[in-house]
Structure 1
Amino acid sequence: MQSCSSALCILILLISTVTTAVPPVKVNLHDSATLSCSERCSGLVRWSVSHKPTDVLAECDQTSCRSVKEGYQMIHDQYLKGNLSLTITEADLTKRGWYTCQCDDKELCDVNLQIEPFNTMVQIEPGESLVLDLDVSDSVKVIYNSTDAANRSSGQICTVDRDSLQCKPEYTQRVSVISALELRAVTPSDNGVYTILTVREEEVIHTYSVTVQGDHSDLDTDKGAAVPPCVIVLSVMGAAVIVGLVMKILVLRRENQLLRMEGAKNRAQMNHHSDHSPGEERLSPHDNE
């Protein structure tokens, strides 16, 4: 009987734990967040960060509610109705984590606040550096998933713990970290998705979708590259204009040549006519005698 009673107590404890569990709250950066907790409490209700139970954020009792720290608040009317929710007016990355609601030092609710991850599109030229913001001071790891058809590698490439950096051998000479992770001398083989996530909770903080644009020198050797239709049209029109100008010049030269020949012929005829005009006296050999 004692064994059954112990098992029953454990079952009741598990049911109690499940019924008071609250799903994670996910919000966008700088949005307001409400950490829900619906329990009756006629005494003092306090919210705190889970790992700092004495660091009170807001509290309520039968007379009023108080914001102990700026940016955290409770509503007294809701408290009287059994709604003990905490509102965070502006959620940022420093406010991520677990929060605990207590009634007269008895734990009622634990709620996990998560910030929706950033999604950044990056286009970069070959040879440049890719900069990945770490965003948080927590220990983070960088996961890489290639989108390059010729390079299907994926997996963890680096771990950053404040100023300490550990990377896979192929990245050691290319990576440095100050306030961000810098990957130098990128090539098209570095195309892919880079995910920053915390080591402890494995919470995604930031994802980068990276496209390294192709080397421009490839354009000179790519004989199969398609020529845009507009370029073809402009080329044909340019060639037609040039041919037209050449033909016009040839015609003008021919006309000038014909005019010169006609003028020379007219002058020759005029000279011949003047040599045989009727009014001109001609002397015969007999006149000289």
Structure 2
Amino acid sequence: APSPPAALASMSCVSADMWTYTLLFGLQILNFSLPVSGEGSVTAKLHHPVTLTCHWNCSGLLKWTQYHKPRYVVSQCDQSSCRSEEGFNIAHDQYLEGKPYLTITAADYSNTGLYCCHCEDKVICQVDLNIETQKRSHVVIPGEPVDVHLPLTDQVEVSFTASGATQPSNLEICNMTRGRMECKPDYRATVSHLNILQIKVVNASHSGTYTVRDSMKKKTIAIVKVEVRGSTAAMMRLCTSLILMLALYQVDSSDTQKVFGNLHETSSLPCPQSCSGLLTWTMFQRPDDVLVRCTRDSCWRAAGFSLNHDEFLRGDSTLTVLRADYSLRGLYRAECDSETLCQVVFTLNPNCS
């Protein structure tokens, strides 16, 4: 196979030189196009499989990595076999044919960004993965809440354009940086936040378009159009929450699971990990409130939560939420001697009955 183009080689996704790494990061944010092999950019549907193509005959070790986590190899192949992390796959026969396509089995927002394919440490392909913008239109009844799920990390902003505006106002109403929510004064009294922006008291003035954007990548994640109609006895019972299940971003999303529970039912937050010391479960939003504390001798549990001590001794640290409700949605973290063991995002399925 021919050598990579000089420009591609000089703009490697992975560089030991920190200045080069920083420069490339800046170029990506500014949406400068890097000269690449492969498709360049691919847009996937949320929670659908997507394939990143690369055409290259590599007789040595081939690796796929993510630009923002260059040391985390999602898939690799040599002449004898291929190995992949969960959620990723390369077919070995395609690798041997010079088509080392990387398949992501269920793309979500944690998978977005620039992917780099290396052959013996030379970058041969670069593909940028995006998730298509989610679009929703809903009718709600005055006085009922509107929920918009937001990422817990990175930088996200929510803007609003009122219905009937003579020109797009695109007023920023809230932004969130690494889980910290800041809202405009007019919205502070009407919104609440776990991993959810909730407009509690909906009236006609809330009719319009809500836009959720990744403010770092300058990309639109979701567009929600809300129409508030007068309540009548003849109206159907609607699903009154706008549930945008945007798979939540995590800095290390490979360690974060997502669980969807049902209102007022029991839910398990899986953590099939052993801990020989002190195990604690907490919520991201309330890190000082311990939900479960276990040692090799016993477990203490806060009201509403459970963890089986016998299972814990056998290496299973799964937390049980005994009766799920909206206040319990968010990011849960299990720690063993203050080291993160598991992270689970818990939310509720939309209740449209």
Asked if these proteins are the same fold (TM beyond 0.5), I'd say yes
> 1:179 maps to which residue?
195
> 1:37 maps to which residue?
54
Give the Cα–Cα distance (whole angstroms) in 2 for the partners of residues 150 and 190 of structure 1.
16
> 1:123 maps to which residue?
139
Of the three residues 72, 91, 109, the one matched with 1:55 is 72
> 1:258 maps to which residue?
none
1:131 is matched by which residue type in structure 2? D
Report Cα offsets for 1:66-116 as digits up to 9, x if no partner: 22x122111222222321211112212322222211111111222222222
Q: 1:211 to 1:41 in 2, by over 3 A?
A: same
Q: Give the TM-score normalised by structure 2.
A: 0.52
Q: 1:107 to 1:152 in 2, by over 3 A?
A: closer
1:142 aligns with 2:158: yes
1:157 is matched by which residue type in structure 2? I
Q: 1:19 to 1:160 in 2, by over 3 A?
A: closer
Of the three residues 7, 18, 23, the one matched with 2:35 is 18
- Higher helix proportion: 1
Report Cα offsets for 1:255-275 as digits up to 9, x if no partner: xxxxxxxxxxxxxxxxxxxxx
Report Cα offsets for 1:198-218 as digits up to 9, x if no partner: 1111222222110111377xx
Give the Cα–Cα distance (whole angstroms) in 2 for the partners of residues 35 and 213 of structure 1.
44
- Higher strand proportion: 2
Pairing 1:194-233 to 2, within 5 Å after superposition: 194-214=210-230
Count residues with an aligned counterpart. 205
Give the Cα–Cα distance (whole angstroms) in 2 for the partners of residues 99 and 208 of structure 1.
29
| Structure 1 stretches lacking a partner, 5+ long | 1-10, 217-289
Give the Cα–Cα distance (whole angstroms) in 1 for the partners of residues 165 and 7 of structure 2.
53
Q: 1:14 to 1:52 in 2, by over 3 A?
A: closer
Give the Cα–Cα distance (whole angstroms) in 2 for the partners of residues 53 and 152 of structure 1.
40
Pairing 1:106-117 to 2, within 5 Å after superposition: 106-117=122-133
Deviation at 1:19, TM superposition (A): 4.7
Deviation at 1:14, TM superposition (A): 7.3
Are the equivalent residues in 2 in contact too, given 1:135–1:205 (CA < 8 A)?
A: no
Q: 1:150 to 1:212 in 2, by over 3 A?
A: farther
Give the Cα–Cα distance (whole angstroms) in 1 for the partners of residues 212 and 191 of structure 2.
15
Q: 1:153 to 1:55 in 2, by over 3 A?
A: closer
SS in 2 for 1:79: helix
1:42 is matched by which residue type in structure 2? S
Report Cα offsets for 1:7-64 as digits up to 9, x if no partner: xxxx963799525263321111221110111123221100122222221111112222
Q: 1:135 to 1:165 in 2, by over 3 A?
A: closer
Q: Give the TM-score normalised by structure 1.
A: 0.63
Structure having the higher Rg: 1
